[in-house]
Structure 1
């Protein structure tokens, strides 16, 4: 594998969401399989290296410098075919010594001092390097007590719990640090290339083995036996160094590709943000041209789901500002519509909350009118109920918050509850009910959805409020206005409660929600236009998902092809 082949592979899969990270894993996989650099028949075979390691371990054990190996009792496993000159070994056979840090009883948290000798735990192993924390250190006296756990330059420290496979190479500046309780210290012969060991530990083959063999449920753990028995492909010593050099070269290229991708995405984001900003804060003289450009460039502007989300918000923002469809001077003005609703409400509900002149968020067309939600309501707001859940399959169904969090009702999210509710009760949802979430995170509190389901089938919970609107307004327009950015900002800002908890809105806040109301005929046209554009957004999302899936499959196929043991392909991959 050379830089040209890597670039050619990237060119075919560059738009896959995880293309660079997959290429990095691919490089490591090739490295540990002997497919990254060509083999040299003049290299001393790995079998000789392993013999020397065994001799050195025996000498050190006889001198009492390391513990004698315990019989492992298993045969070496071969996870895949390796080139001639390589050997399958066990990790414990490749290392001179695998040791753990001190027991917890030997090192307590209260013994840590600032600025002493650092103690290296898994959290201090970052991207293969040791990043010591001066607050996690011990005094010189304590370090002397723990001298048998000191690290030496060239050691490899590995996480014993948590993220299996996490490791770091001990460099000169970390010489003398203390191996922590949650870590392994692995020492190797000078003939073994430590940088190759780090490549091995980063490979998927090792990560999967350790993950599958680890024990524990709350936190995964490794022990000596698991680590010592790990099947390990061992190349000749000289080839180890060539592999490291090639991996460094290709990873540097991946860094460049990643930076180029980030720059490209940042430029695209700036372009998208500038385009949508011109629509969200329109210039009357250029708006129509800006809108024409933006709507005509939807496919080019949206390459990620988060960009489509912003586009949806922009569409709603334009809709409630009267910028999405032209006004028709023949439409009956919204003021007449509100008068009819007001007369209807005087007969049924009494006084009404109205929008004051100081509460108008932005200018609207002359035929429109600002109205508080209360001016459009004929019933409610009404809070739901929260009876105890039950496992009885014949018990009533109550929807959960998740059923409306997307802004669209989803009947699949409900729970059975212990309640006896008459069929005539207003607690049963009816087609066309408008539901608002009374409590949720700051992002979702007040989110609205229209109930689309059969009558007397679902109850609604106490964390929702239900309203019913006058027949003189278009329910779907009011809904899109209620989930538009200005309305969402009003409800979020007026929700009570700390950010870290679940903020809530009350009925007073909800009925005060200011909504821009167009003439009824224009409401119909706006909803139709928004519906068309939202369907286009749906198609874009589906297209993105399919495109991402296709690119992932292409990348998978190319990687499989590159790894396939077809005669003659191995040298090609290694060139």
Structure 2
């Protein structure tokens, strides 16, 4: 072990003493041939062109935009003007240097406040641990193997999230079609008459709650699907005493007061009050005359991001913007959690864009929501469906949490392995390896020889 804490035979030098960051060359998309050699931008390969800028293996480093991102091309390529490129490395060990540059944290050198940018002078001052040339080969080979495994794990983990999403959608579909409670019906024998009586009671209470009694809107039948014989279909309007959106005008905001909820504040089935704007108590009272929010109501986003839902679980007052619709239950018998499930299934199942108008801000009209068909089993079966869905969703939530933990761990593996490699801890040292100091001597001699050559006379080459 050396006095620097590195293995014997290693050396430490400034990056600028070992490699040169050359500027990429502008190559607009309109002039690229579309075939041939890879074209690299700061975030990776961006196209093809028949004439390359480099002649062999090339390491590309993001200079503008994706600052410090490192990409490797095993052959000739064209790095564009948002990049630096390295086409000469000590000992021609490109496999080693592609990892060395990734380990240096070049992305942290961004000094621009507008467009992210990397100054190569800053990069050149980084101190680099340099192993013997033979050990560089062993390090590169080992990293090729272990990082390929890390990438494979990362890819497999990335495929889990879509599976969980499909699982949640299948749970909703099973819940609203009756498949989820098929054996429950075999045991409890609910009848269609029971559902009709319960729906009739809700309908009567709905009329009593309304200031101006009005029959419920007829449902659309085009999106109905097969449900059990003991179920009914009804309209969303029939199960709600009111479907209304928030205020259509932008209120006067204050530093503190009553929370004012918009589409951004509804996510993952909850209302997030941590980043809401505020309005005065007086304005809230005025807005509540038309759109009074109460515990047990259901909210659904209807403008911008369509279809996020949340049941109100607080008695604390708040008001709504036009981007959020309020659904008030027609009676205390209405299971708003079941309606929530039906709405979520509808949003995930159909082409919502067919119901949406507006080219700039997408908007779902209240009239379309009112005529939405809702499957209606008996109230006992609705409660059982909600119970089962909540168990399955909780299971999916636990799997998702484990997935996020695994993905975080996988993301930390690559930098940890790179750090270990360049501390000399990834592969064993061989005392027979030529020390890195000898490589540095050859590099210095080559530079001195190059500097001693007379400068070429004649016109400077014109850049193209």
TM-score (normalised: structure 1)? 0.60
- In the TM superposition, residue 458 of structure 1 has moved relative to its aligned partner by 0.2
Seen in structure 2, the aligned counterparts of structure 1 residues 167 and 397 have a Cα distance that, compared at 3 Å, is closer
May I ask how many residue pairs the two structures share in their alignment?
A: 420
On the 8 A contact 1:431/1:452 being kept in 2, the answer is yes
Cα deviation per residue 1:173-223 (whole Å; 9 max; x = unaligned)? 55xx7x754444556487553443333223x2x2x1x23333212333233
In structure 2, the partner of 1:526 is 385
Seen in structure 2, the aligned counterparts of structure 1 residues 412 and 546 have a Cα distance that, compared at 3 Å, is same
In structure 1, the partner of 2:101 is 201
Seen in structure 2, the aligned counterparts of structure 1 residues 372 and 199 have a Cα distance that, compared at 3 Å, is same
In structure 2, the partner of 1:251 is 144
In structure 2, the partner of 1:233 is 129
Quote the Cα distance in structure 2 between the aligned partners of 1:383 and 1:439: 11
Structure 2: unaligned runs, 5 residues or longer: 431-464
Quote the Cα distance in structure 1 between the aligned partners of 2:412 and 2:405: 12
When the two chains are superposed, the root-mean-square deviation of aligned CA atoms in Å is 4.5
In structure 1, the partner of 2:172 is 316
Cα deviation per residue 1:260-302 (whole Å; 9 max; x = unaligned)? 886x779xx7xxxxxxxxxxxxxxxxxxxxxxxxxxxxxxxxx
In structure 2, the partner of 1:4 is none
Greater RCO (CA < 8 Å, at least 6 residues apart): 2
Residue 485 (1) aligns with residue 409 (2)? no
What secondary structure is seen at the aligned counterpart in 1 of 2:357? coil
In structure 2, the partner of 1:406 is 268
- In the TM superposition, residue 235 of structure 1 has moved relative to its aligned partner by 2.8
In structure 1, the partner of 2:437 is none
Q: Following superposition of structure 1 onto structure 2, how do residues 412-451 of structure 1 map, counting pairs within 5 Å?
A: 412-417=274-279, 420-422=283-285, 425-441=289-305, 445-451=306-312
Q: Following superposition of structure 1 onto structure 2, how do residues 62-461 of structure 1 map, counting pairs within 5 Å?
A: 81-95=5-19, 99-100=22-23, 112=31, 114=33, 122-123=41-42, 126=45, 133-134=48-49, 151=54, 153=56, 158-166=61-69, 173=76, 180-184=80-84, 186=86, 188=88, 191=91, 193-202=93-102, 204=103, 206=104, 208=105, 210-240=106-136, 242-243=137-138, 247-248=140-141, 251-252=144-145, 254-255=147-148, 304-325=160-181, 326-327=184-185, 328-329=188-189, 333-346=194-207, 348=210, 349-355=213-219, 358-359=221-222, 361-388=224-251, 390-394=253-257, 396-417=258-279, 420-422=283-285, 425-441=289-305, 445-454=306-315, 457-461=317-321
Quote the Cα distance in structure 2 between the aligned partners of 1:122 and 1:132: 9
Cα deviation per residue 1:490-538 (whole Å; 9 max; x = unaligned)? 582542237x854221121010110111122322333333334334444
Structure 1: unaligned runs, 5 residues or longer: 1-33, 40-77, 139-149, 270-303
Seen in structure 2, the aligned counterparts of structure 1 residues 312 and 180 have a Cα distance that, compared at 3 Å, is closer
In structure 1, the partner of 2:459 is none
TM-score (normalised: structure 2)? 0.72
Seen in structure 2, the aligned counterparts of structure 1 residues 336 and 220 have a Cα distance that, compared at 3 Å, is same
On the 8 A contact 1:398/1:414 being kept in 2, the answer is yes
Quote the Cα distance in structure 1 between the aligned partners of 2:80 and 2:204: 77
- Relative to its length, the structure with more strand (as a share) is 2
Residue 515 (1) aligns with residue 369 (2)? no
Quote the Cα distance in structure 1 between the aligned partners of 2:394 and 2:21: 60
What secondary structure is seen at the aligned counterpart in 2 of 1:198? helix
